[in-house]
A and B are shown apart, each in its own frame.
Chain A
Amino acid sequence: MTNLGVRRHPRALLVEILLSTAETLKEHFLNPSNVGEAGEPRFTGRAVSVSCGAVVQFSVQVDQAHNILQAKFRAVGCDVLISASSLLSEAVTGMSTAEAANDVHSQSFVEEFAEIDDNRSACVALAGSALISALQDYSNTARDEWSGDDALICTCFFVSEQTIEREIQNRGLTTVGEVTRVCSAGGGCGSCHQLIQEILDSVALP
């Protein structure tokens, strides 16, 4: 069973990790879960911090129903990065790719939390970025391999090109954000934002 369309509060997962107790973080640092590579079919993503030099790599194994069977990581960086990667890998195991992507999206997370905890939020967000990047790898592959009649654009929420075109025309949508609000397309890993923009551009042409 897939969990398509399940929406929790965005960024909930990274916030939870950020607010973990010191004991939890330490436990996950000393004995991290899910170190290594996920099984096949494996989709991989990497995030690098140019400011601190930390590198984190996530790989996910996804089944045909879009569920994450395994999430594994490798990292070199501060203690918090290791703990966050471990916690994140545990949390997303068993989630659908859509649910995981929706929960983890980290773009505004750093800005929001920079003032609260300067030392940890960037490290937690870096782990999130690597996972998102692995989910995008999955989405891009799934989109390429899709063999249905109608081109698949958003692999997280399973939205076709036709649906997106129809919504844009019927409702006069002009931005990717509007498309996401109306039909969820683009609300997961974000790998299809460029494609949605291209559809918007082509529909807008006279």
Chain B
Amino acid sequence: MIYLDNNATTRIAPEVAEAMLPYLTKFFGNPSSAHALGREMKQAVENARQEVAELIGAADASEVVFTSCGSESDNWAINGALATQPEKKHIVTTQVEHEAVRNLCQQLETQGYEVSWIGVNSEGELDMEGLRQALRDDTAIVSVMLANNETGVLFPISEIGQLVRERTNALFHVDGVQAVGKLPIDLKSWQVDLFALSGHKFHAPQGIGALYMRRGVDLPSFIVGGKQEDGRRAGTSAVPGIVGLGAASRLARLEDDHDTVLDLRNLLEDSILNEIPNARLNGPADRSKRLPNTSNISFEYVEGQNILTHLDEAGIYVSTGSACHSSSHESSPTLRAMNVPYTAAQGSVRFSVGRYNTEAEIRETLTVLPGIIKKLVDMSPYENELKALYAKRG
């Protein structure tokens, strides 16, 4: 198996599993209990909180609240920000957010909120002037992702934070789910109020996330119940997951894999773009504007789903932005916002490298992929368009 789908989820690191094991066996107490076992659990939770805070550069560990996933964190941030400012009915977000933000904002539109959807250019970079103009006195929250899950494109959070502060009193929420563990993050140097992250994107287990709330930002609990998490989120703490998230944060901070991942991604991306004439990159050619691990590549005039099935058969796992249903072919909203032509969006494949990939795996992928593309190119009815592309490059 060659796993190149690390933006979907990642394998649990051995160090993480090892750290969690005692909390799946020996330490089974409730951290809210007053006895020694409870105190042991409580200590483990607080150690993990400290690790997460250090990874994201929070000024204080108390700014980190554990949740069940990235989507919960995003939902809590946005709904909470609206609840604390009932007089404000305006939201600013982008056209390329993850469903956790996009679908929520679409739902809020039907409930009396006005949403400004900021667009991107053909390389996926945010329309900063559009954002500037959208900010208003009655804007309750600005919600922008740090790294796009499909293309890896990074938005300039520091710049956006300053803009939000200058122009409004709105809260600024950042969906950092796809970026944490892949980039150094220092929240105390940014003007960010809320920040969502998810453990399984960086080698912690699924089912654990966190919401950073800058000190002074106080959102009502998303779940009504007990006084866990300092009264900010009800529900018994998921200690094994929390310990896993702490261990994964420590691993990401102390043994960062950014350089090796970057090298592998570049090898893969360069080879594909050089060797396959109908391949084109979705995103900025300037790699400093993208995550180090992600390549979103369109194979023009062929179907991404077909590529995925062939790679799957070869034991290579990737994702496609194209999803076919009988009634509609839903190309990804991100690629649509970038104005990627339909015949290219249809053939988009996301390769996302991770810490456990090896050069041998990338080379194996590079030996298998051209044959698959060739087979589909030979089958494509867009013969003339493909001939032109192959002649030009060939």
Contacts and interface: CB of A to CB of B under 8 A. Distances in A.
A112 to B, nearest CB: 14
A82 interface: yes
Among A46, A119, A121, the most chain B Cβ lie within 10 Å of the Cβ of A119
Contacts of A78: 303, 305-306, 324
Interface stretch (A69-77, A143-151, A157-165, A182-190): A69-77
Interface in B355-382: 376, 378-382
Interface in B322-348: 324-329, 342, 346
Given A51-B328, A76-B346, A119-B326, A30 B301 contact: no
A82 B307 CA distance: 12
A51 B327 contact: yes
Contacts of A52: 324-329
Interface of A: 29-30, 32, 35-36, 46, 49, 51-57, 74-79, 82, 114, 118-123
A79 B381 contact: no
B313 interface: yes
Contact of B379 (A32, A53, A118, A120): A32
Interface in B278-304: 301-303
The 7 closest A-B pairs by CB, nearest first: A52-B329, A122-B326, A78-B324, A74-B381, A57-B381, A76-B380, A53-B329
Contact of A76 (B301, B325, B328): B301
B379 A74 contact: yes
7 contacts: A29-B306, A54-B329, A57-B381, A75-B379, A77-B303, A118-B325, A122-B327
B88 interface: no
Among A53, A57, A122, the most chain B Cβ lie within 10 Å of the Cβ of A53
Contacts of B158: none
B383 A74 contact: yes
B306 A79 contact: yes
B383 A118 contact: no
B326 A118 contact: yes
B216 to A, nearest CB: 50
Contacts of A51: 326-329
A122 B131 CA distance: 42
B309 A29 contact: yes
Contacts of A54: 303, 324, 329
Contacts of B301: 76
Contacts of B11: none
Given A52-B326, A76-B301, 11 more contacts: A51-B328, A55-B382, A75-B379, A76-B346, A76-B382, A78-B306, A79-B306, A82-B306, A114-B326, A118-B327, A120-B326
Given A77-B303, A123-B326, A56 B309 contact: no
A121 B378 CA distance: 25
Interface string B154-178: 0000000000000000000000000
Given A29-B309, A51-B327, A52-B328, A82 B379 contact: yes
B310 interface: yes
Contacts of B326: 51-52, 114, 118-123
B346 A35 contact: no
A79 B305 contact: yes
Interface of B: 301-303, 305-306, 309-310, 313, 324-329, 342, 346, 376, 378-383
B379 A77 contact: no
Contacts of B342: 53
A123 B328 CA distance: 11
Contacts of A49: 329
A24 B342 CA distance: 30
Contacts of A79: 305-306, 309
Nearest to B331: A53
A35 B378 contact: yes
Among B324, B326, B378, the most chain A Cβ lie within 10 Å of the Cβ of B326
Contacts of A46: 381
Nearest to B376: A76
Contacts of B313: 30
Nearest to B324: A78
A147 B376 CA distance: 42
A119 B313 CA distance: 21
Contacts of B379: 32, 35, 74-76, 82
B302 A76 contact: yes
Contacts of B378: 35-36
Contacts of A35: 378-379
A32 B381 CA distance: 15
A122 B324 CA distance: 11
Given A52-B324, A122-B326, A74 B380 contact: yes
A121 B327 CA distance: 11
B97 to A, nearest CB: 24
Contacts of B302: 76
A32 B380 CA distance: 13
A76 B329 contact: no
Contacts of B376: 76
Contact of B303 (A30, A32, A76, A118): A76
B157 to A, nearest CB: 35
Nearest to A32: B379
Nearest to A74: B381
A2 B342 CA distance: 44
A46 B69 CA distance: 47
Contacts of B306: 29, 78-79, 82
Nearest to A57: B381
